[in-house]
Amino acid sequence: MLVLEPCPSYSPEVCRPAMARLLKAAGGLDWVRPGMTVGVKINLVAALKPDSAATTHPALVCALVELLRERGANVLVGDSPGGLFNGPALERIYSITGMKAVEAVGGQLNRDFSCKQARFPEAKSAKRFEYTGWLDSCDALINFCKLKTHGMMGLSAAVKNLFGAVPGTRKPEMHYQFPQVEDFANMLVDLNEYFRPQLNLVDAVVGMEGNGPTMGTPRPLGLLLADDNPYRLDTACAALIGEDPAALPALSAARARGLLPEDTPLPKEMTPFLRPDWNRPPRRDIRFVRGTPLSPVLTFLLQARPKVLPAQCVGCGKCARVCPAKAIRMQRHRPSIDRKACIRCFCCQEFCPKGAMISHRSAIARLLTP
């Protein structure tokens, strides 16, 4: 059941009661048994401070941990950001994101950096994949994401957050294995169906618009959301930011697989929180040209693609290092993109530390599909 709860700030005296009301409205915590281990899969995409709005806010995670601990649960909090999945890398991220506060309220931060192999014959795309081993030690999983824009998928919320179950260094391989947006979207749905979180939560107290999911602009929404169905929850998140759910690849994939009903009404109490003027990534939907003789040419002309902003680029070369297709080379300390090799995964845009890489549409694309 989709529920939402106003939460105007991250101050502890506001977060704790708002989280309690949200969980009660979502069915409560009667499923928590004393001594069980509840995993909280947060969003720790990069070493960014909480006020950047790139990661799940630690104040909310602490509130959740406290409520679970009161039920007698052991609480394990973790994620695998892009890059190395090891102790030094994660300790730095835990520190900068403020997530070490979790330990002060009785939670544990994950320090198991083992990896496991999954076989999922029922999957559409990811029939075999590698995942972070700490998830196996959890009796139940809560998926606690951040509401953000996303260059490739349009929206980063509940469904996209499960990509953090894949070890950081394996993420580029998954992008390269599933270069088509539809296949990548089905892979995300596969991960959600494999891990099946007990509950999905969204931190939309302050979301991210624009150049998300790491270098966008924080924007207050003042809201928490919860649902046991991640696809229904993401439909609500899409509505909040004025995005058409039908244009989001992951939700289209879920609907095609019968995991998201065609008619998903949204609560009336969402109306005051709707932000149709949210700065969203360029449209990726160009399905109207498929099946025609000119489809390949039109697709190339109309699709969104990474673009460098020279004034913001510092020549660090991270975009070239994270590109799974090796489509970026540094020339005179500036990235040069091989458009034929580019698979439009937007890893370069996601992990550029200066926001110098953006999702861009050509003038022709903006004219034909505004």
Position 288 scores a pLDDT of 38
| Residue ranges of the chain that CATH labels 3.40.50.11440 | 3-273
Q: How far apart are CA 317 and CA 52, in angstroms?
A: 22
Q: How far apart are CA 229 and CA 196, in angstroms?
A: 9
Helix, strand and coil in the chain, % to nearest 5: 35, 20, 40
Instruction: Tell me which residue has tokens 């008619």.
Output: 263
Query: According to CATH, what is the number of the domain 287-368?
Result: 3.30.70.20
Going by C-alpha positions, the residue among 148, 184, 177 that lies closest to residue 163 is 184
Architecture of the domain delimited by 3-273? 3-Layer(aba) Sandwich (3.40)
Structure-token pair, residue 43: 């969003």
Structure-token pair, residue 196: 């099946």
Helix (H, G, I), strand (E, B), or coil: what is residue 241? coil
Say which residues have a Cβ less than 8 Å from residue 86's Cβ, sequence separation at least 6: 113
Specify whether the CB–CB gap between 76 and 39 falls below 8 A.
yes
Position 297 scores a pLDDT of 52
- Counting every residue written for the chain, the total comes to 370
Position 361 scores a pLDDT of 65
Specify whether the CB–CB gap between 249 and 183 falls below 8 A.
no
Position 350 scores a pLDDT of 87
Return per-residue pLDDT of the chain as tens, 370 residues.
Answer: 999 999 999 999 999 999 999 999 999 999 999 999 999 999 999 999 999 999 999 999 999 999 999 999 999 999 999 889 999 999 999 999 999 999 999 999 999 999 999 999 999 999 999 999 999 999 999 999 999 999 889 999 999 999 999 999 899 889 989 988 999 999 999 999 999 999 999 999 999 999 999 999 999 999 999 999 999 999 999 999 999 999 999 999 999 999 998 777 888 999 999 999 999 987 554 443 445 554 555 555 557 789 999 999 999 999 999 998 899 999 988 999 998 899 888 889 888 999 899 888 665 545 544 5
Q: How far apart are CA 254 and CA 256, in angstroms?
A: 5
| Residue ranges of the chain that CATH labels 3.30.70.20 | 287-368
Specify whether the CB–CB gap between 362 and 318 falls below 8 A.
no
Q: How far apart are CA 275 and CA 340, in angstroms?
A: 37
Q: What is the DSSP string of 297-330?
A: HHHHHHS-EEEE-TTT-----HHHHH-TT--EEE
Specify whether the CB–CB gap between 223 and 267 falls below 8 A.
no
Position 73 scores a pLDDT of 98
C-alpha triplet 2, 233, 179: angle, nearest 5°: 165
Q: What is the DSSP string of 269-302?
A: GGGGG--TT---PPP---GGGTTSTTHHHHHHHH
